[in-house]
Chain A
Amino acid sequence: MTLQRKQHARLFTGVLLVSLAGWIALLTRSAGPSMLSSTMCGGTASQLMESAGPGHQATNWVLMLLAMMLPTLVPPVFFIWQSSFTRVRVALVALFFTGFGLVWLLVGAGLTGAELLARSLAPPSWSWLPAMVVGLVALIWQASPAKQICLNRCQSHRPLAAFGFAAGRDAFQMGLVHGLWCAGSCWVAMLFPMVLPSGHHAAMAAVTVLMFCERMDPAARPSWRWRGFRTSFLWLERRFRGWHPRVLPGRQPAVAEAPWHASNTT
């Protein structure tokens, strides 16, 4: 494995571990006695308002971000890591997360408000109605040109200043900008699991895979089309199926591989 791949793999593993910790914390909190007070575990708007204070909801939101968003942040974090002096890498990454997190905390407040509003408006016998409405909006947004613009900007970056205050400023700005486009891309997908009366965690897992995989597609012209689903399917299929060498149409499989392919020194 190359040096760069080793570094990338280390970063990716670390990020996955933190994300996993976020998932465990969410699952633990929802399994506990305060189940109904969690925004991630349903309940009516009044129940939520009474039992889940802002601190509790903010904690849930942060955990949700860690669990769902972190895997998508490997590319920009790796970019900062490679672009900066060794001694300031950690600080710059922290500034990036600060900017990114600030955006998503504000967006989270808005989404939580939307969740409460949706629950308060929906009659108890129509508990699935908010989820159906939000799910429909999420599908439309997923296919929209606006979504593609946001995804494109998530893949865009400009070189960062290397020295002093400017380096920190650029990393923080990158976090803010990346957070804004990321929120633009994912806001309604994040809201969808929140308004489900049940099955939140399964929906969160599906949305996480979708958000992760849709960024594997290169930037593209904004247009109306389904995006992310096919790549998610292919990615999952490949994870389970693995890779098997194929041959040209009409030719026999190769018997042996040349040593430069089998052994790797790169």
Chain B
Amino acid sequence: MGQQYTRNDISDSGGNFSDPNVVWYAVGVHAMMQRSLSDPASWWYFAAIHGQWVTQTDPTSRSWAQVNPPPDVPTSPVPSDTSLWDQCQHGTWYFVPWHRGYLMALEAQLRQDIVAAGGPATWALPYWNYFQNPQMPGDFAATTLPATLPDGSPFPAGLGGQTNPLYVTDRYGPDGDGNIYIPQGGISADCLNDSTYTGTSANGGFGGGITTFSHFSGLTGGLESNPHNNVHVIVGSTKNNSGDYTEEGLMIDPNLAALDPIFYMHHCLIDLLWAYWNVALGRSNPSDPAWVNGPTPEFAMPWPQSQPWKYTPGDVGNIQVLNYTYDMLQNTALAAASGFPSPKAQPVALAARLAHLGAPALEAAARPQIVAPPRAAELLGASTSSLIVNGGVSRASVKLDSTVNKKLMSSLSLESTPDQPDQVFLKLEGITGTRGATVLDVFVNLPAGANPAENPQQKAGSVGLFGLKQASDKNGKHGGSGLTFSLDITSIVDDLHLGKTLDAGSLDVLLVPYRPLPAGTDIKVGRVSVYRVTH
């Protein structure tokens, strides 16, 4: 089987480079940054594989030439063959497998450069576990590399005292001041509780909505939405909350994001969450040929001393046959410390829900503990107009269809489906705009005048608008259809049902930006809808 590598959590020492994995990551990144844009082994080429503003331009996006150094980003020479560029998959069930292959290819290139510089042949990408350490590892915030390491040895490859290749000027953080951390409540690992990889027309599931023949549906999956999108937006952010696109952080734009070395530490954790969902929680990837075979054409990555590696989701779906693992998969204490669900703690949630809805306790205990696969998804209601998100709180009224609502209430009363009451999902459809550096907290039926922060029980979740510009671009991969997210609002609707307010005929949905939006923000939600899913 060959060498097995282990990806480890970064042990943050506040910027003195005490973690060898980070030290050698800096050495590898430096080596790749020395190469030209046209070299498939260069940092810049790999960033362009994700997305680029070199051969493409956009009047509201910062081009690569406008990136504030460091890093000094080249915009030439453009390779004669750019067919491997602009591959990234978002808003689709191919999101996680494409990014897994992307990380593996980068890791192979970095390892080759690290070994050439005298580093360990066992080196593997580390990951930033922001669930346990919300502050970005200090090594990424230092502007220069130390002359010596904590053990007194010189910084490898003679890089001591040089510009830190892990430092990026255009990385602004939640307060817009360059302090990079994930605010409390800014992210969630709730996606791990989703037992299905892909959902229904109502929800994206863990891995995202089906985009078999085109990018027409584009439902963002739970993992991609939160934490992935939220972290991108929070880390990149904008300088001093500016509304100027030239002051946006690299991480908020898919065509700039992979220039930032923290990008890969973030995606390594996203990949770990997928592996944890499979291995520790025993969840299944799709066996559907449309997913296993991937889209046409196939994904392809440069590979050291080899022809481009072509792969499909089926090739990378099973981590146990790949060449790496994660420390957390061997050490459940790490997962528990990060707040991830354990297999033993898996849902007793259905029984608890049934009891909450009024089922007799004894009867509930005897009932199935697992939510059955969905039988149907049905539109329950929708807003009658689009919603403009401006600086403060935005509110939409979602009108419910009386016929469908009666069926829902019958289910919640445990009449029509005594063992499997309906689930309810809120969808934010067709979100468009040119300024995506925000996370929107979503509340349902928050009482008038109530402080959102004091009513977490009314919070449906949050959505980060990573890639909003590209998704809104009529010549972008989504054809201008925008972003679409779904949030599970079952528990909120259960309470509304028990409070006898579900038959009011409408739901109030509030969108609250996690920080004030700058002037000129043009975010529009095409439709807010609610679906019931029967089991």
Binding site for B on A (CB under 8 A): 1-5, 7-8, 74-76, 78-79, 81-87, 148-149, 152-163, 166, 213, 215-216, 218-222, 230-231, 234-235, 238, 243, 245-252, 254, 256-258, 260-266
Q: How far is the CB of A217 from chain B (nearest CB, A)?
A: 8
CB-CB under 8 A from B476, the residues of chain A are: 219
A234 lies within 8 A of B296 (CB): yes
Asked whether, in the complex, the Cβ of A2 is within 8 Å of the Cβ of B288, the reply is yes
Question: Which of A4, A153, A219, A254 contacts B201 (CB under 8 A)?
Answer: A4
> In the complex, which residues of chain B have a beta carbon less than 8 angstroms from the beta carbon of A257?
318, 321
Chain A residues with CB below 8 A from B104, complex form:
248
B199 in the interface (beta carbon within 8 A): yes
Q: A213–B322 Cα gap in the complex (Å)?
A: 31
Looking across the interface, which residue of chain A has its beta carbon closest to that of B404? A85
Q: How many A-B residue pairs have CB under 8 A?
A: 210
The residue on B at minimum CB distance from A160 is B527
**What are the 10 closest A-B residue pairs judged by CB atoms, nearest first?**
A159-B527, A155-B479, A254-B321, A264-B287, A82-B201, A159-B526, A162-B382, A156-B479, A75-B216, A219-B479
Residues of A within 8 A of B475 (CB): 148-149, 152, 219-222
| A4-B200, A155-B481, A234-B298 given; A162·B205 CB < 8 A | no
- Contact of B373 with A3 in the complex, beta carbons under 8 Å: yes
The answer for the CA separation of A148 and B477 in the assembled complex, in Å, is 12
Contact A243 B289 (CB under 8 A): yes
CA distance A219 to B430 in the complex (A): 16
- For the complex, give the distance between the alpha carbons of A53 and B451 in Å: 72
Q: Spell out B's residues near A (CB within 8 Å).
A: 1-2, 56, 104, 195-201, 205, 209-210, 212-217, 278-279, 282-290, 292-293, 295-298, 303, 306-307, 309-312, 314-315, 317-318, 320-323, 373-379, 381-382, 384, 386, 399, 401, 403-404, 429-430, 474-481, 526-527, 529
Q: In whole Å, how far is A66's beta carbon from the nearest beta carbon of chain B?
A: 19
Residues of B within 8 A of A2 (CB): 196, 198-200, 210, 286, 288
Q: In the bound complex, what is the Cα–Cα distance between A265 and B373 (angstroms)?
A: 8
By a CB distance below 8 angstroms, the chain A residues around B373 are 3, 265
Whole-angstrom distance between the alpha carbons of A251 and B309 in the complex?
A: 12
Q: Is the CB of A159 within 8 A of B429?
A: yes
Decide yes or no: A79 and B479 within 8 Å by CB, A245-B314, A266-B284, A266-B285 being known contacts.
no
Question: Which residues of chain A have C-beta atoms less than 8 A from B320's C-beta?
Answer: 258
Contacting residues, chain A, for B303 (C-beta < 8 A): 248-249
Closest to A149 in B: B475
- Name A261's closest neighbour in chain B (CB-CB): B318
